[in-house]
Structure 1
Amino acid sequence: MTTRPLKVDHALKALPEVDDLGGLREALIGVSREDSRRAWAASAAYATVDGRLADVAALEARIAALAEEARERVDAVMRHSVAALRALEAGDEAAAARALVAAGEVEEDAARLDAAEAFYRQALALGRRPRDRRAEGLALRRLGRVARERGDLEPALRFYLAGYEVAVAQRDTEGAIVACQGVGNVYVDQGLWEKAREWYERGVGQAGESTRSQLLWQLFSNLSVVARRSGELQASGEWLDRAEALVLATDDPVGRLPIENGRARLLVARGNYAAAARAYRRSLEGQGSPTVRGAVLAALAECLLAAGDLRGTEAAARELERLAVVHRLPTLLPDAYRTLGAVARARREEEGFVFYEQALELCHAPGSPPFELAQTQHEYALWEREMGRTESAVARLEEALAIYRRLGTRPEMARATREMDELRAQLRAPHEGD
């Protein structure tokens, strides 16, 4: 039987978007290969993952591994669920709630947010009943995390605040600190730096001698971010010094990369792009996870773009794309394509639209955070403006603004509003003399 090349976008559209095929769809991207027919063509510069060729044979070879991963997940979820029933049988509703949270965490790790939320809500219902309500606070914090992952910031804030109140009432110090961090993170998402600072500092104030060092250095690192975003670069460096001291004192390997990235971002804030790029590249020489390496590559590309190094930006974005494909991490791809679109915009290249179109398709996948869609439409609008398509730019920016308003992300809202005013002024300009 003769076969013909099958592009990834055609393959993905042929499969239904159901949870059971989530791993298969990701693997389809991971085992895809470059189309050799266009590898040396001029159009190759604008190639995206949807133009790669599906390797059906390689995908078939991964079925057993994918099925085993799914089996392990289902097994773990069922075991935690039975543990919850055994706890109920023993009259321990708090233990039952904790077991349901554990089941939800398995689903959350697999990016099955609807299933995770269902477990957390059941845990919340059970956790309210016993005298020991720490499981209730845990379920509330997990619900806050899921809501934030979805970009639903208002419910995320409500869950974290409720989780904080329960933790304080139960004298659950670690739970209170985690809730403080969660509240602060949501305020950072909204650009409310002072409120974020207040909650991070509240978390530091809750800490005692027995507090895990990782919780503390994360709070110090977050306070460094808030200070940097507020323009307080010296204070940002001081908070980062405190975080680094804890990481070094406890030899915490998890903290090394965030500290290095914090240093690099401070260099970017000071306009020292060359030193920042060197710092990011040193980080990439380390042994970080693919997700962490992806975050560093995205930051490196942003730094190089700010420095005007378009060739370097393009290379970093393509490496981010490669990493996402190899490790089956499609959530990294929209950032890679927005960056490649920004390079095309700087070069005033008409073909740059393909990057934004690919990013939009990825952003419309089930479970993609709405903030990703807003960012993509926002960046696409700037490309449309550069190409002289003002009306299209306004339409895209309106969609981005609507999402920003719903999420309450103030910095992006302010920037998009300013750009919208400029675009509308351009539309009015030809008619002012009529």
Structure 2
Amino acid sequence: MNRPEATIEEILGLLPDLDDLEVLRLQLVAAAVRDPGKEWDSSSAYTTIDKRIVTPEAAERALDEAEAALHEYVSALHRGLRPFLQSFFADDRDAASRHLIALGENLEGSGRLLGAQKCYRAALTVSLPLVDKGAQILALRRIGRVSVSVGDFKEAVAYYERSADLSRDSGDVPGEVIGRTGIGNVRLWQGRWNEAEACYHEALALADAAGSGAFMLERGQIYNNLGNLTTRQQRLQESEGWFERAFHVWQALTSPVDLAICHHNHAHLREAQERWDEARRGYEAALKLPIPKALRATIATDLAEWWLHEGHVTQAEELGRLAEEQAIAAGSPYTIGYMYQGRGNIARAQGDADGFTFFEKALEIAREKGYPFLEGETLLDYAALRAQNDGYEEAAAYLERAAEIFRELGAAGELERAKRSLAELRSTGELELAGESPIAAAGD
């Protein structure tokens, strides 16, 4: 007897663990749908992508699409290497290095972060003997960017610092502006806010020195980040000024992603000011823009929590599902993990113990893919759910592990959160967590 469907969990559990089948895995996840026979089952509210189903026809289409995508990937890989080899044999190391960087950018754009990182490291090696340091500076920044994406903050800041210092020594002002902004972004992720602010102001001073019309894109991104940073420091009036400058830039420059980030972070400011209706309008304005699905998933997650604050559970769940669909469509494991962390928080706010399934899935992704920051943040929030349901020992263990991860990453702000929550749990048996993921942009 033929099977009419199978769950993603079943299929992926039986596929050979080959790197070449990663595209097929993503295509199968994208092709899977909720089980219509269980839509009215109360437990369906807490199912993750593992329990979605795939029909034989959908699996066949996914296989065809994955095969075509893999062929295109192999072709693109070799197309990218052809000019590299030509430049190498022409003894043009600068061009050879830049071709490797371009290849890495292609891989990074398709979500192949570790492959991209290897290309950037190869480009760095090729560029090291060159007198002109432009390619080396760019390769260093690209390694820093990928390191941020996978949560390796110590490596990220080391490469951004090398790029900024080399830019300064080479008289490359644009490179230094972008490099110092990148350092600031890493420090923001680490919760080292004073250092982040110093980096942003160093970058801004360099941009200002070049004249009022120079570095407008970079200025706008720095304004976005300073608005976000000062909101987190509760310097709300100052934050207002930074966002005013940022919106002025985005009126003059067309950059939907940067404008969406600005709206998103501005909504956080409005929440801090308890101007809740304006915060909602900010989130909604960001979601109306043509932005990548991964960013859309993040913003939808925060808007879902806004609806929870207002006591509208149905709308929060709808936004949580939108975030899930967007994260799956983005094909980014990190985004999917972050989204499930957010859905776990929605469940926790509702007092639903079954929300543990979302946290467990986020942890599984974080550990399997090597995203330590996501693992630490998920453990922090998961601990609150466990404590809420009398699982004090488990909650304490999660917080201790989170603190260990943040200590290893050098994430001082999150480490302090974990320590404070652990002390709270031990003294009262309760803890309440709040916070959202910072979104920062560096230009490249």
The answer to whether TM tops 0.5 is yes
Q: 1:379 to 1:255 in 2, by over 3 A?
A: closer
CA distance in 1, matches of 2:427, 2:161: 42
Report how far residue 212 of structure 1 moved.
4.3
Correspondence for 1:369: 371
Kindly state the Cα deviation for residue 161 of structure 1 after the two structures are TM-superposed.
Answer: 0.6
Q: Which amino acid aligns with 1:68?
A: A
The corresponding residue for 1:218 is 221
CA offsets per residue over residues 105-140 of structure 1, 9 Å max, x none? 222222223322222122112211011111111111
Shift of 1:337: 2.7
Q: Which position in structure 2 is the counterpart of 1:227? A: 230
Is 1:423–2:421 an aligned residue pair?
A: no
Secondary structure at 2:53 match in 1? coil
The aligned runs of 1:190-269 (5 Å cut-off) are: 190-207=190-207, 208-209=210-211, 211-269=214-272
Instruction: Say if 1:397 and 1:328 are closer, same or farther in 2 by CA, change over 3 A.
Output: same
Distance 2:307 2:55 in 1: 34
Tell whether 2:68 aligns with 1:65.
no
- Is this contact kept in 2: 1:28–1:55, CA < 8 A? no
After TM superposition, the structure 1 stretch with the greater mean CA deviation from structure 2, 44-53 or 323-332, is 323-332
Cross-structure match for 2:439: none
Number of residue pairs matched by the alignment: 426
* Equivalence for 2:438: none
C-alpha distance in structure 2 between counterparts of 1:323 and 1:101, whole Å? 29
Q: Which amino acid aligns with 2:343?
A: L
Deviation per residue, 1:142-185 (Å, 9 max, x gap)? 11112211211111111111111111122222211111111001
Counterpart in the other structure of 1:402: 404
Structure 2 contact 243–262 (Cα < 8 Å) conserved: yes
**Distance in 2, Cα, partners of 1:217 & 1:198:** 17
**Comparing 245-254 with 23-32, which one deviates more in the overlay?**
245-254
Moved more, 67-76 or 32-41: 67-76
Does the 8 A contact of 2:228 with 2:266 survive in 1?
A: no
Q: Which amino acid aligns with 1:49?
A: I
Could you say if the C-alpha distance between residues 117 and 253 of structure 1 is closer, same or farther in structure 2, counting changes exceeding 3 Å?
closer
**Aligned-pair CA distance for 1:270:** 0.8
Q: Secondary structure in 2 aligned to 1:151?
A: coil
CA contact (8 A) 1:356 1:380 kept: yes
Read off the aligned partner of 1:395 and give its amino acid letter.
A
Amino acid aligned to 1:360: L
Aligned-partner Cα distance in 2 for 1:397–1:217: 37
1:285 to 285, 288, 301: 288
What is the alpha-carbon distance in structure 1 between the residues aligned to residue 119 and residue 331 of structure 2? 26
For residue 4 of structure 1, report the CA deviation from its aligned partner: 5.1
**Residue 77 and residue 169 in structure 1: after superposition, are their counterparts in 2 closer, same or farther (change >3 A)?**
farther
Q: Which runs of 5+ in 1 are unaligned?
A: 428-434
Query: Judging changes above 3 Å, is the alpha-carbon distance between structure 1 residues 184 and 18 closer, same or farther for their aligned structure 2 residues?
Result: farther
Separation of aligned partners in 2, 1:328 and 1:121: 25
Change in Cα spacing, 1:414 to 1:311, as seen in structure 2 (3 Å) is farther
CA change 1:176–1:72 in 2 (3 A) is farther
When structure 1 is superposed on structure 2, of 333-342 and 190-199 the one drifting more is: 333-342
Instruction: Output the amino acid matched with 1:404.
Output: F
Asked if structure 1 preserves the Cα contact closer than 8 Å seen for 2:4 and 2:55, the reply is: no
Give 1:292 shift.
Answer: 2.6
Distance 1:187 1:323, change over 3 A: same
Does the 8 Å contact 1:143/1:159 carry over to 2? yes
Deviation of residue 426 (structure 1)?
A: 5.7
Distance 1:18 1:171, change over 3 A: farther
Single out whichever of 92-101 and 75-84 deviates more from structure 2. 75-84
AA in 2 matched with 1:38: K
Consecutive unaligned residues of structure 2, counting only runs of 5 or more, are 430-444
SS at match of 2:111: coil
Q: Deviations over 1:295-334 (max 9, x none)?
A: 2202212333444544432221122112233454443333
CA-CA distance at 1:381 after TM superposition = 1.3
The normalised TM-score by structure 1 is 0.91
Amino acid at match of 1:373: E
Please state if 1:349 is matched with 2:341: no
When normalised by structure 2's length, the TM-score is 0.89
In structure 1, distance between residues paired with 2:361 and 2:23: 20
Amino acid at match of 1:401: A
Q: Which residue of 2 aligns with 1:150?
A: 150
Higher mean C-alpha displacement, 10-19 vs 146-155: 10-19
Structure 2 equivalent of residue 317 of structure 1: 320
Question: In the alignment, which of 368, 387, 390 is matched to residue 388 of structure 1?
Answer: 390
Contact 1:225–1:236 (8 Å) recurs in 2: yes
After superposition, give the CA deviation of every residue in 1:331-380 in whole Å (9 maximum; x if it has no partner): 333333333323333333332222222222232333x5211111222211
Deviation readout 1:385-419 (Å, 9 max, x if unpaired): 11101111112222211111111222221111112
* Match in the other structure for 2:442: none
Which stretch of structure 1 is more off in the superposition, 311-320 or 25-34?
Answer: 311-320
Give the letter aligned to residue 55 of structure 1: T
1:413 is aligned to 2:415? yes
Q: Is the 8 A contact 1:160 1:179 kept in 2?
A: yes
Determine if the alignment matches structure 1 residue 169 to structure 2 residue 169.
yes
* Corresponding residue SS for 1:365: helix
